Amino acid sequence: MPSSFQTATELLAELRSGSLSAVELMQNTLDRITEVNPQLNAIVSLRDRDALMAEAKVADQVKTRGALHGLPMAVKDLTNVAGIRTTHGSPMMADFIPQTDGLMVARMRQAGAIFIGKTNTPEFGLGSHTFNPVHGATCNPYNLTKSCGGSSGGAAVALASGMLALADGSDMMGSLRNPAGWTNTYGFRPSWGRVPAEPSGDLYLHQLSTCGPMARCPEDIALLLDVMAGPDPRIPLARAAETMMPLPEARPKRIGWLGDWGGAMPMEPGILQQCETALKVFEELGHVVEPVAPPFSAERIWDSWVTLRSFAVAAGLKAHESTKHQLKDTAIWELERGQAMSGTQIQLASEARSDWHRAAVQLFETYDALILPTAQCWPFDVGLDYPRQISGVEMDTYHRWMQVVLPVSLLGLPSLAAPAGFGENGLPIGIQIFGALGQDREILSLGNAYHGATGWPDRKPPTL
């Protein structure tokens, strides 16, 4: 039987060789979920065991096989999977069962993945803490009393605990990066347009979010990205396909460390120090790492982001306006704030975004990659909705504590969240390794070299 912590690349190689059957892998996956998911609540809407075993048996009999053939996967509960309940973590959609697959799901299904259920997420994906009134909270496997982050928290925990070898997620404001950093796993936000958006709704104004892969190693990230990426004729802003696998050896690079952005982003004690231990690994690998002065106003990035985000979220929630009283308070705040935006506010936010883009282009003329922490605080109590202060600085919104992810999100830059180790509290934290638009393969290669020198995901959760 396979190990619950083998990589997806290893499992798929065994499936192709015949040394492992899809039935054996499915049995091991479901047994592991039965063993640990009651403590963690990462997998939701799990399908019937007999149906899944039957589907795995069929997979063993198929001769033409895709890149993910026979691999069990659970999809983030914001994305439609035909025949599987998709709740968005909202009571308003608690009984919704889609009849068709979303675009990314269709690609993964075509590649041979077997969908076992969904992974938990906050209500409508809002907030970097995975809890909702439909499925409840997902716990951090490194400390069951702590948050796992979000919004792809269920996916991250399923990976960290060995329930899945590979997972999908999505990222608007750190949702692939924050939970990866808090669970000792990897999450990758690809370049804007690398993975096309769903071909519905607005296709131009509200493209702040993207789907992306999560795994326990960068090689598996590249594997899933090759399935997810590539243009679709229905999507006008898609980037041309570029094969990620196999990842090349990373050449020596000049890397900039942005830290706390010159003090503009408050950090809890120990965050910067732990992340700086990761910088030493890059130096030992032959890269030049040096501190970088703030290249742009953190407050202008923040103001631009919260304007454009509320504008986009309000558009996504407008179908629920008549029943908005059923939404959580932060979702109502986003909806009402976005609907009140003026054209002038949107224009000013776009101008600030453009200015940051120009500054970033200039910065990447000097640096091949930049690094920031994945979060400004350690995983907080799972019963808390969001932290009200960091190191004595009051958080003026429910998401201000995730300001550190915005330099990437606002420009849609490729960013790999990688483990940076554990603090004295025994909790994990991560770093964001990011580069210029289109440099996805280079960032993944850099992360792969780092992974080979550290192997942080080998440190399994002690709670399980």
Q: Report pLDDT for 15.
A: 97
N- to C-terminal Cα distance for the chain?
A: 19
- Among residues 138, 85, 139, 89, the alpha carbon closest in space to that of 330 is found at 89
Q: Report pLDDT for 199.
A: 82
> What integer is the mean pLDDT of 36-57?
99
| Mean pLDDT of all residues belonging to the chain | 96
Whether residue 8 is predicted with pLDDT greater than 90 in this model: the reply is yes
342 in catalytic set: no
Query: Which one of 128, 152, 175, 191 is the catalytic residue?
Result: 175
- pTM score, whole prediction: 0.97
CB 180 within 8 A of CB 417: yes
* Tens of pLDDT, residues 185-197: 999 999 999 999 8
Spatial neighbors of 363 by CB under 8 A, at least 6 apart, are: 256, 292, 295, 370
H or E element that contains 301: helix 298-317
Alpha carbon distances (Å) from 84 to 102, 163, 165, 364? 12, 19, 20, 43
CB 49 within 8 A of CB 59: no
Which CATH number among 3.40.1360.10, 3.90.1300.10, 3.40.1160.10, 3.30.420.130 corresponds to the domain 8-458? 3.90.1300.10
Query: Which one of 45, 90, 151, 191 is the catalytic residue?
Result: 151
Spatial neighbors of 458 by CB under 8 A, at least 6 apart, are: none
Question: How many angstroms separate the CA atoms of 126 and 123, rounded?
Answer: 6
* Tens of pLDDT, residues 218-240: 999 999 999 999 999 998 888 88
Whether residue 419 is predicted with pLDDT greater than 90 in this model: the reply is yes
* Tens of pLDDT, residues 341-396: 999 999 999 999 999 999 999 999 999 999 999 999 999 999 999 999 999 999 99
280 in catalytic set: no
> What integer is the mean pLDDT of 251-257?
97
- State the pairing for strand pair 114-119/43-44: antiparallel
**21 token code pair:** 């059957």
63 in catalytic set: no
Q: How confident is the model at residue 201 (pLDDT cuts 50, 70, 90)?
A: confident
> What integer is the mean pLDDT of 96-122?
98
H-state helical runs in 217-297: 218-228, 271-284
Exposed / middle / buried, residue 246 (Cβ in 10 Å: 0-12, 13-18, 19+): exposed
Q: How confident is the model at residue 433 (pLDDT cuts 50, 70, 90)?
A: very high
Sign of CA dihedral 164, 168, 172, 176: positive
